[in-house]
Amino acid sequence: MASSRTVIIAGAGIGGLTAALAIARHGFGVTVFDQASRLEEIGAGIQLSPNASRILIALGLGKQLRRHVVAPQELRVMNARTARVLARAPLGAVAEKRYGAPYWVIHRGDLQAVLLDAVRAHPDIALHLGIRVEDFAFDEDGVTIAARSPQRRLEERGVALIAADGLWSNLRQRLGHRREPRFARRTAWRALAPADALMPELRAPAVNLWFGTRAHLVHYPVRSGSLINVVAIVGDDWREPGWSAAGERAEILARYRAPMWSAVPRAILAAPEHWQKWALYDRAPLAQWGKGPATLLGDAAHPMLPYLAQGAAMAIEDAAVLAQRLADARDHPAAAMRRYEQHRRARTARAQRAARRNGMVYQLGGAGAFLRTLALTAIGGERLLARYDWLYGWTPG
């Protein structure tokens, strides 16, 4: 079925879809499988920092994305108890000038829909939903995957396999990485509040980060500003895998009690009716990712905690680098994979570690929280942004 130049991608998440578009641009055929029978509008906000937005724009998606994104003008860091602003880092035009691409926030469903429309419109990409890739074997000429739908089993052949099958990747296991994800003993609660139900300053185009003791809160507008994405992260032993368990508003409000949480953040938490939650997991960086013409991409390779807001961005970066390496070594996909991995390992490991570190800092209590306040107020906005130059200033090269 597949042509001699078909690359197979397992997983049509943010990473898999971006990789399909980036690889097809270089003249390869691409076949994408996703186990989900429909790619529904699941998830909430995702941050597209300049390192990611520049890639999506280069793929020709800027116009479509601009219909959905919000460009926050600043990052505001607040003390949950006093509501005092501890730091403001400029984003908007300042970040765009500094990094050469915009800082955007978007609903995950909108991002996936824009990618999906482009994939469906591309003559060299075939997307098959409701098919789970279960195994693969490779030889000198390429790779054969074994997949299954509720009705049938199938095999497909290609020149290379990209496992973009997310945090719980089974193909990662088939590549010999048997360790389970590491449970972070925290749960992220997410909800969308109608913007017009909130006071004007909470609707402003800004990323807001509230620091409390052993809990924090992030909110920013999505869907062109009509909805406010709210994410509340608390310590918890609940550890079920998955992205979308139902959560009770009363339960999350009880975790963000007065006086430790002042009226404004509590008003944000009280606004949405429906909540969903997911248990947080990550993994330690891998020394080696793939084998032969098979490799990992996105969360399957380097899942990270959400404290750096880089899960989607790192998957998008992976896609751009992998496509370029495949184009550079058209007839040698296995060599292209190793070069891609070599290019990505250190950077993604740095992001994983930085996310973990932020997680510790965000949830400090007592003296630690006091020191954090001192450091934040002393550092000031522009310098706070400059600390992320290594992250946001990155280009695919």
Task: Enumerate binding residues for ligand FAD (CB under 6 A).
Answer: 10-16, 33-36, 42-44, 46, 108, 132-133, 164-166, 170, 190, 243, 298-300, 306, 311-312, 315
**Choice between 74 and 299, CB closer to ligand FAD:** 299
DSSP 304-316: --GGGS-HHHHHH
Least separation in angstroms between residue 199's CB and ligand FAD is 25
Least separation in angstroms between residue 188's CB and ligand FAD is 7
Cβ-based neighbour number of residue 189 at 10 Å: 26
Contact 168, 11 (CB under 8 A): no
**Choice between 88 and 107, CB closer to ligand FAD:** 107
Please name the residue that has the structure tokens 């920013």. Answer: 220
d(CA 391, CA 397): 14
Least separation in angstroms between residue 1's CB and ligand FAD is 17
Q: C-alpha angle with apex 124: 121 to 125, nearest 5 degrees? A: 65
**Choice between 88 and 344, CB closer to ligand FAD:** 344
- Residue 220 appears among annotated catalytic residues: yes
Contact 322, 252 (CB under 8 A): no
d(CA 112, CA 104): 15
Q: Where are the alpha helices (DSSP H) in 6-87?
A: 14-24, 50-58, 62-66
Least separation in angstroms between residue 340's CB and ligand FAD is 15
Q: Which residue is nearest to ligand FAD (CB)?
A: 13
Report the candidate in 387, 53, 393, 74 with the shortest Cα–Cα distance to residue 221.
Answer: 74
**Choice between 210 and 373, CB closer to ligand FAD:** 210
- Catalytic positions are 220
